[in-house]
A and B are shown apart, each in its own frame.
Chain A
Amino acid sequence: DVKVTQSSRYLVKRTGEKVFLECVQDMDHENMFWYRQDPGLGLRLIYFSYDVKMKEKGDIPEGYSVSREKKERFSLILESASTNQTSMYLCASTALTKAEAFFGQGTRLTVV
């Protein structure tokens, strides 16, 4: 059974903290994505990666960075968390030639 696993289901952090969200996939997929999902706005792409150490900005990268040191792991970093980053964060992965995306279960981050 294919799996994308996010490190936390729920997270509460304080304003100004550095936050790490981890995502691991076991399908040997080349592409990995980080989205945030907010009511009425759908899934918005933050960053994505085609390969190890490669990263591309999505539609809303401000305030975020990413790291992909190993093929199976893609980390999202909030350098200094702010309340407007309170959201559901979803990680997804796809194979290079087949774009069906598999999603993790999501991390609901609350910044207080």
Chain B
Amino acid sequence: GQNIDQPTEMTATEGAIVQINCTYQTSGFNGLFWYQQHAGEAPTFLSYNVLDGLEEKGRFSSFLSRSKGYSYLLLKELQMKDSASYLCAVWVYKLSFGAGTTVTVRA
């Protein structure tokens, strides 16, 4: 099976930076995804890493280390609208998700 771990909750202040870690133990690996999900809505795609290193996309960056089975999502210049759940997912021959990290941004 797949084992994907991420913290349950994080709280940060508007304008700050938050880093959400994800560790995985999977039978195979074809890529790691981060999704954002606002309450009551469907998940939406944020980023994709297949090679080691950092992928930057505006205020969001994602890092991958395949040898360590580790990824993080970095959210910079936090805004209130960034309050959401962030889901780490690993693509093997299917797409498997972690339980998600709920980020609360406080004014």
Contacts and interface: CB of A to CB of B under 8 A. Distances in A.
B94 A45 contact: yes
Interface in A26-63: 33, 35, 40-45, 48, 56, 58-59
B80 interface: no
Interface stretch (B12-20, B37-45, B53-61, B62-70): B37-45
A42 B2 CA distance: 13
Contacts of A105: 41-42
B31 A43 contact: no
Contacts of A45: 94-97
Interface residues of B, number: 23
Nearest to A98: B48
A92 interface: yes
Nearest to B96: A45
A42 B99 contact: yes
Interface of B: 1-2, 8, 30-31, 33, 35, 41-45, 48, 87, 89, 91, 94-100
Contacts of B41: 105-106
Contacts of A90: 42-43
A58 B94 contact: yes
A59 B39 CA distance: 24
Contacts of B33: 99-101
A99 B30 contact: yes
B97 A99 contact: no
Contacts of B99: 40-42
Contacts of A25: none
Contact of B97 (A42, A48, A104): A42
A92 B95 contact: yes
Nearest to A44: B97
